[in-house]
A and B are shown apart, each in its own frame.
Chain A
Amino acid sequence: EPEVTQTPSHQVTQMGQEVILRCVPISNHLYFYWYRQILGQKVEFLVSFYNNEISEKSEIFDDQFSVERPDGSNFTLKIRSTKLEDSAMYFCASSDRQTNEKLFFGSGTQLSVL
């Protein structure tokens, strides 16, 4: 079965540094998402992306976050100036249709901000 691939699996950074989390969605999918899961808590929606623009974003997704599809295969999440509370597992997901379709998730990037 096709997979969503995320790199790196673990990222450690110093507070205030910029990080870029990378994702390769399933090749024929058109809708892309980022979710995060703080340790021991529920998975939370960050942002959805379609046709090179953000479709929807949560209140978590503030000005320090940005997303980009720099080429035909990658989908990135950038955190401009990391804070301690950004430490979490970040999941990329994709779907082939927009409305309420199941999401295929990657295996996540564990971000640790020191």
Chain B
Amino acid sequence: AQKVTQAQTEISVVEKEDVTLDCVYETRDTTYYLFWYKQPPSGELVFLIRRNSFDEQNEISGRYSWNFQKSTSSFNFTITASQVVDSAVYFCALSEGPNTGNQFYFGTGTSLTVIP
């Protein structure tokens, strides 16, 4: 079974629209960490956010916001007023812990295209 599922393979939106990227995870650990990474066309993986399993507060950072719901095992990512520069592949990842190897389990990614 997949530990992290990103059901949306590709999403296209028109600039200034809001868009939500879904992430569902599966773990038996009570302590775990969730991450979002952005992979722009240049290929690198850029860290966006890290949340631990004990902190269910939603977080907002500029146009980005994250909705963590343990009841549904989801950690969704919303971009408000999308811009062309947001076009990238976005990966959700899970780290179970305490984790001696700090192994991340990545989802398959959602490719977001923002159309000008």
Q: Range of interface residues on chain A?
A: 20 to 34
Q: Is A43 a contact partner of B35 (Cβ separation < 8 A)?
A: no
B100 CB–A CB distance under 8 Å = yes
Q: Is B102 a contact partner of A42 (Cβ separation < 8 A)?
A: no
Which residues, 27 to 86 on B, are CB-close (under 8 Å) to A? 32-33, 35, 37, 42-47, 50, 52
Q: Is B91 a contact partner of A103 (Cβ separation < 8 A)?
A: no
Most buried by A among B91, B98, B100: B100
Q: Which one, A16-24, A67-75, A94-102, is touching chain B?
A: A94-102
| B-side contacts of A31, CB under 8 Å | 102
* Contact among A89, A100, A102, A103 with B98 in the assembled complex (CB-CB below 8 Å): A100
Q: Is B42 a contact partner of A48 (Cβ separation < 8 A)?
A: no
A-B contact count (CB 8 A): 72
* Contact among B45, B102, B107 with A99 in the assembled complex (CB-CB below 8 Å): B102
Q: Range of interface residues on chain B?
A: 20 to 34
A55 CB–B CB distance under 8 Å = yes
| B-side contacts of A103, CB under 8 Å | 47, 102, 104
| A-side contacts of B33, CB under 8 Å | 100
| A-side contacts of B101, CB under 8 Å | 45, 48, 55-56
B108 CB–A CB distance under 8 Å = yes
Given the complex of chains A and B, what is the CA–CA distance between A110 and B42 in angstroms? 12
Which residues, 6 to 54 on A, are CB-close (under 8 Å) to B? 31, 33, 35, 41-45, 48
| B-side contacts of A108, CB under 8 Å | 43-45
The 3 closest A-B pairs by CB, nearest first: A56-B101, A105-B45, A107-B44
